[in-house]
Amino acid sequence: MHAALTSAILVCLVLGALILTASGIWWFTPLASNWHEIDGALLITLAVIGIAFVVLNLVLAYLVLRYRAREQSRAQFIPDNPKIEKILIGVTALGIIILLAPGLFAYSRFISPPRDAMIVEVLGEQWRWMYRYPGPDGKLGRANPKLISPKNLFGVDLTDPAAHDDILSYTELHLPVNRSVLLHIRAKDVLHSFFIPYFRAKMDAVPGMVTHYWFIPTVEGRFQAVCAELCGIGHHRMQSPVIVESTEKFQEWLAKQPTVAATVKP
């Protein structure tokens, strides 16, 4: 009786998982960037793991019922089975290759931006995101963590002429639609992770180094950036609006933001 109940529970678990997946209740957010490859890699991972989940649990349900305890039966001890072990090693290796290969190809593109990408610096601190854009010269000025102060939150190096016209945003990330964007990501204090779910874009922000990734926002609208790394008691509050708009509206917004020369330079 216990074996039959256990088998039934395992079968119901499999059916419930399949129904929940088919319903789409917990599915991807709509894609709003160019990263179809990342969705493809995620779908392949879901398919491989899903097939393994279904097969293993159904086989387990059958074995529990087929080899349940009986008075007239005795268990047989088999120390090893080289044939089955070779099959399992081969199937596992194939599964790992199928899981890793698409992700590696996607990641190689993820960190290889086009040359004409617009650069934006992302700075994370407990518990907010801030942004720095190049000014009219098209170049981001140098920054140094040692120069960070209450007035100079980005640690901009004021001895670099290219830094004076840099444009600062302390609350929102605005981006032009259908334009390649390269993010340079930094952290002031602890490990953070800059994640925009609708863009399938995420990268750790590591104190003392600059990480990066690129994407093309393809849908106008208001999205949200969050921190995907537990970074302290206020982690849940580390959110930031991401506004994707036309090039004209983006330029209008950019022209209204403060520059380093106006806010930092003594």
Cα 43 from Cα 48, distance rounded (Å): 9
Domains of the chain with CATH codes = 2-68+80-110 (no CATH), 118-263 (2.60.40.420)
Per DSSP, 79 falls in state -
Distances (CA, A) of 92 to 40, 41, 45, 54, 197: 21, 18, 14, 16, 30
Structure tokens at 185: 């990501």
Structure tokens at 89: 């090693």
Q: How many residues does the chain have?
A: 266
For 53-109, how does the pLDDT look when each residue is reduced to its tens digit (9 = 90+)? 999 999 999 988 888 777 777 777 778 888 888 988 998 888 888 888 888 888 888
Cα 208 from Cα 5, distance rounded (Å): 56
Per-residue model confidence (pLDDT) at position 97: 87
Spell out a b/e string for 90-102, using b for 16 or more CB atoms within 10 Å of the CB, else e.
eeeeeeeeeeeeb
For 10-35, how does the pLDDT look when each residue is reduced to its tens digit (9 = 90+)? 999 999 999 988 888 888 889 999 99
For 238-253, how does the pLDDT look when each residue is reduced to its tens digit (9 = 90+)? 999 999 999 999 999 9
Helices (H) and strands (E) counted in the chain, each on its own, are: 5, 10
**pLDDT confidence band for 266 (50 / 70 / 90):** low
Mean pLDDT of 158-172: 90
- Name which of 76, 64, 56, 72 is nearest 1 in CA terms: 64
Dmax (CA) of the chain: 91
Alpha helices (H) along the chain: 2-23, 36-66, 82-110, 247-255, 260-263
First-to-last alpha carbon distance for the chain, in angstroms, is 81
> Residue 1: pLDDT above 60?
no
Cα 145 from Cα 98, distance rounded (Å): 41
